[in-house]
Chains A and B, each alone.
Chain A
Amino acid sequence: MLEINNLRSRIDDSEILRGLSLSVRAGEVHAIMGPNGSGKSTLAQVIAGHEDYEVTAGTVTYNGQDLLELEPEERAREGIFLGFQYPVEIPGVNNAYLLKAAVNARRKHQGLGEVDAFEFLKLAREKMATLGMDPKFLNRGVNEGFSGGEKKRNEILQMAMLEPSLAILDETDSGLDIDALKAVAAGVNALRSPERAIILVTHYQRLLDYVEPDYVHVLSQGRIVRSGDKSLALELEEKGYEWVREAANA
């Protein structure tokens, strides 16, 4: 589904990704771990198409097409979803409006008609209930005045409504209490299917207790320096990132 080959990317004058390669197939859950500044979030932003990150070398192919050629909205419509590390507050834009616009943009791209208002509300309320979100959040400004946990749940709500083919969750677990973490994990697990792939970008092993990854990759200085199964995450937890850094430099 996603093939990243020797990707190099920079923001302003600093190179963050330095020859990263990764292959993700449908049905898989990949966890990307690594110390701060290793390039985890940059990878997520580059896949989503943030224009501040310049791709200087390498290729990214998504379902056979050159992903780097697509605008961020085209990527979203093709089924890529980025759960933001820092979801943006947009006062004055109603949460329900954004959800509906997002769902309709995807549906239109798929050649489907706009979602019926009644069906949309029903579905949104159902998804919110499973995430433990008060339905009143639908009528609030997007992330406006939301707590950290509420923002992350809201990201998962958007993901649940959009049913992406490839979901990248950028530190969605950070700053969550255990209830919110479980709710987020349940949202992610509900999305797991043979047709979908999920990339979890995370600093800690904690989320992986609830969402079991097929693969764990460790990022250091803009490259994947180690890949393995879920036991790698436990090993990391035990030995710390210093161990990986040493391994990378060895």
Chain B
Amino acid sequence: MKQASLSIESLREVVRRLPDNGLTSSREAAIAHLGEHGLPTLRDEDWKYTDLSPLIEISNRWLTAGGRQQPSELPRERIADITSSIDAIWLVIANGTIDARSIATVTHKGIEISRFSDAPPPFAVSRPLADLNAALLQDGLRIRVNVSIEKPVGILIVDRAGESAAVTQSCVEIQVASGVSAEFIEYHASDGDGDHYANSVLSIGVGDGADAKHVRIQNRSLRHVQTGQTSIALGRDSRLRIASYDLGGRLIRNDIDIDLSEPGADVGFDGLYLAGDGQHIDNHTRVDHRVGPATSSQEYRGILNGNCRCVWNGKAIVHQGADGTDASQANHNLLLSDKAEIDTKPELEIYADEVKCSHGTTVGQIDKNALFYLRARGLDKRHATQVLTHAFAADIVLRVPVTGVKDAVTAIVESRLAELIEEDAAADLLS
């Protein structure tokens, strides 16, 4: 199968027309790097299960049509729905544009918000999709939390697709100052009938002794495509808890890179992905234990139904000298259809001596005995399946680290699960 390749010429053309807000040189450097290395293909080990052709094709259509940056209509109601249902200090990036009004409403003195254009960052070589992001980015958002805050800071990245194909970028840098406790919500949503590709880049820096919590909710339209690159660095004796929920999207690829270069760091990250017919959700995580002692633990769970494919690849590298590392990885999957496919792979590379590492993956179906037990108590097959599926997801939902989003997460996970079980493929299972 021939994979599409990104039209660098059209990209250059579109980027040339972006207003010069100080980001021009990093955009050019990004294009140059991208031109040289290109986007990953199925031949790349890290990308062998995920064909980027759909997003390349959307990008090319959008680029050759002129790469218009400002789709006319903002999803105002959707924004209001989300920001009113979760109590947080909300910052909004809508259709790739930072919403100045949302920034203006942040009055908390402990939170500094700025844009990349205020102090342009130098171009840094990263992953190829981050290059694409840097090339097309209108402006980036910097959030610095200097004092412990009660309310979570919410970042809503929302897109409304018009009739023609569109591509949007978002880039956010979060820094939690030393000793500070802070909570964040990263919420991705989209609607609209047209093809849409959203590409996001996020970095989180947790200062020495700081305690951060991050909840990521990806609830995009099932027609849309999203890729996300998250880079995390933890300071000495700092702590970070992450929970990530992937519910929507036709093609989703998440890369999380966690750098543990300071002793005493402790990171725990959980993920839940729910995939139905036609969805492809790929989670690649990488933890670099560079020093010890430090702890990383991750658990991803997936529920798959219909003709879909999910990928989980969890890599932990314990570098030489990182004694006292404690790393654990787990990935559990529940397949509700024989057409669903999961590619799951834990990868451990250990170059240190005193380490404690564990990993485990499972792929299973609904437990027939449990199903019969529930039916023998009067629950019909559909209800029983739903109950067991919920139970499988429950651990990850209950572990949501930001208390204020628990209800919202529970509600959207429940509603997506109900949809999944209603799908035709589930009907086969239930017949």
Contact = CB atoms under 8 A, between A and B. Distances in A.
Interface of A: 48-52, 71-73, 75-77, 81-82, 84, 87-88, 90-93, 97-98, 101-102, 105-106, 109, 141, 158, 162
B390 interface: yes
A7 B395 CA distance: 44
Given A88-B369, A90-B388, A91-B391, A102 B375 contact: no
Contacts of A82: 376
Nearest to A75: B376
A76 B377 contact: yes
B116 interface: no
B351 interface: no
B284 interface: no
A237 B113 CA distance: 82
B370 interface: yes
Interface of B: 367-370, 372-381, 383-384, 387-388, 390-395
Contacts of A75: 376
A48 B378 CA distance: 11
Contacts of A81: 376
B378 A77 contact: yes
The secondary structure that dominates the B interface is: helix
Contact of B377 (A92, A101, A109): A101
B383 A48 contact: no
B376 A49 contact: yes
A72 B384 CA distance: 12
A48 B394 CA distance: 29
Contact of B390 (A52, A71, A84, A92): A92
B373 A88 contact: yes
Contacts of B380: 71, 73, 105
Most chain A CB atoms below 10 A, which of B384, B391, B393, B395: B391
A101 B394 contact: no
Nearest to A98: B377
B30 to A, nearest CB: 45
Given A98-B379, A141-B391, 18 more contacts: A71-B375, A72-B372, A72-B375, A73-B375, A76-B377, A76-B378, A82-B376, A84-B373, A90-B391, A92-B390, A92-B391, A92-B394, A98-B374, A101-B383, A105-B379, A106-B378, A158-B377, A162-B377
Contacts of B387: 93, 97-98, 101
Contacts of A90: 370, 373-374, 388, 391
7 contacts: A75-B376, A76-B378, A90-B370, A98-B374, A98-B379, A98-B387, A101-B377
Contacts of B383: 101, 105
A245 B388 CA distance: 43
Nearest to A108: B378
Contacts of B368: 52
B363 to A, nearest CB: 18
Nearest to A107: B378
A51 to B, nearest CB: 7
Nearest to A105: B378
A73 B378 contact: yes
A87 B370 CA distance: 9
A88 B377 contact: no
B163 to A, nearest CB: 43
Most chain A CB atoms below 10 A, which of B369, B378, B383, B387: B378
Contacts of A87: 373
Given A88-B369, A101-B383, A93 B378 contact: no
Given A90-B391, A93-B387, A93-B388, A105 B373 contact: no
B373 A76 contact: no
A110 to B, nearest CB: 11
A101 B395 contact: no
Contacts of A97: 387
Contacts of B395: 92
A72 B376 contact: yes
Contacts of A105: 377-380, 383
A159 to B, nearest CB: 10
Contact of B392 (A88, A92, A98, A106): A92
A93 B366 CA distance: 14
A113 to B, nearest CB: 16
Contacts of B379: 73, 98, 101-102, 105
B375 A76 contact: yes
A187 B170 CA distance: 63
A52 B368 CA distance: 10
B228 to A, nearest CB: 28
B392 to A, nearest CB: 7
Contact of B381 (A71, A77, A109, A158): A71
